[in-house]
Amino acid sequence: MGAKKIFKKSILSVFLVNIMIISLFTQVAFAAITWPTLQHGSSGVNVYALQYLLNNQSAGITVDGTFGPGTTTAVKNFQTSKGLTSDGIVGQNTWSKLCVTTQQGSNNNAVKAVQYLLKNKYSLSLTVDGIFGSGTYSAVVAFQKAKGLTQNGIVDLNTWNYLIGSSSQVISATTPTTPPSTTSDINNIWDSYTRDRIKKLQPKIQNDVVAFIIDAQNQGIKVRITDGFRSYAEQDALYAQGRTTSGSIVTNAKAGQSWHNFGLAIDVVEIVNGAAQYTDASYAKIAVIGKQHGFVWGGDWTSFKDKPHFEKTYSYTLSQLDARVKAGYVNSSGLVTLP
């Protein structure tokens, strides 16, 4: 056999070996991403997590850990809404659509799913309240450390995969970790107008708003805040519009009757190619994300639908905060100081 033929056979052999190695590693990589399959009749901790995640998509089902007819219907409805095969079986494709990113500042049913798994599957001490605070952050970091994941306290799809796909085990809590302030991410927001308006809101809500806007941005939706904190004088002028001044009626709230007056509400619009999108479809997309972050959406109101509007009240009441303003508990910008 000639030298050229021997050389060609050697090259071919090396090539085939490399292909086999790549194939082996690829199989190992895919094997590491194991999503459990759940269907009618399934039960246990992963079903609890599934039901919380479905409720995060407004399914409104009972969270009881049993995959019954109600859960089956909710799964099929969700699959249809996402263009998946509507078979009621929860596999990798359905999990990957259900598992939204949660992090410090999130407040929704997806956080409850994270907390339930960390508490009941991995024995970490947590309250299942849907609020992603410092305790949840520390528990997530402990879990990520135990699984060899990036320890950033953010529950992305990879962390979800390990939470749901791994077997139960006892994970020791680490020394409580101080989560980074989400407001540090404010400089990553695409729009300077939005950044400026966030800075004028109550410090209590700023992290939640940043997380909301960044989450939308990561999904390809550029959200601009058009209004945030609004003074009493500005509220009176807005209320007068369409009543005693020209224009259309845009609010039923007088001064002291809007969460804007206390820095706990925002109005938003999607921007596409530099143009504002005042359409039902656009606000519906934004609303899904806003509600996942625990905001009340004005588009759900019955008496006066306010689709650009999102608010968080943190158990305060309008009368309580109005009384504080009238008693002089305001800062130099006129923003009420929260009790």
Domain positions in the chain: 42-164, 182-327
| Residues 308 and 267: beta-carbon distance below 8 Å | yes
> How much is the pLDDT for 270?
98
- Give Cβ neighbours of residue 165 (< 8 Å, ≥ 6 apart): 33, 34, 35, 36
Q: Mind listing the pLDDT tens digit for each residue in 80-91? A: 999 999 999 999
Q: Residue 223 phi/psi, 5° resolution?
A: -100, 130
Which H or E run contains 276? Answer: strand 275-277
CATH of 182-327, one of 3.40.630.10, 3.30.1380.10, 3.30.565.10, 3.30.70.890: 3.30.1380.10
Q: Mind listing the pLDDT tens digit for each residue in 308-338? A: 999 999 889 999 999 999 999 998 888 999 8
pLDDT(55) > 60: yes
Q: For a pLDDT cut of 90, what percent of the chain falls above it?
A: 66
Amino acid at 82: K
Mean of pLDDT over the chain: 88
pTM comes to 0.52
Overall average pLDDT of the 253-261 stretch: 96
* Distance from C-alpha of 137 to C-alpha of 205, rounded to nearest angstrom: 18
* Distance from C-alpha of 198 to C-alpha of 192, rounded to nearest angstrom: 10
Q: Which fold has domain 42-164?
A: Muramoyl-pentapeptide Carboxypeptidase; domain 1 (1.10.101)
> How much is the pLDDT for 283?
97
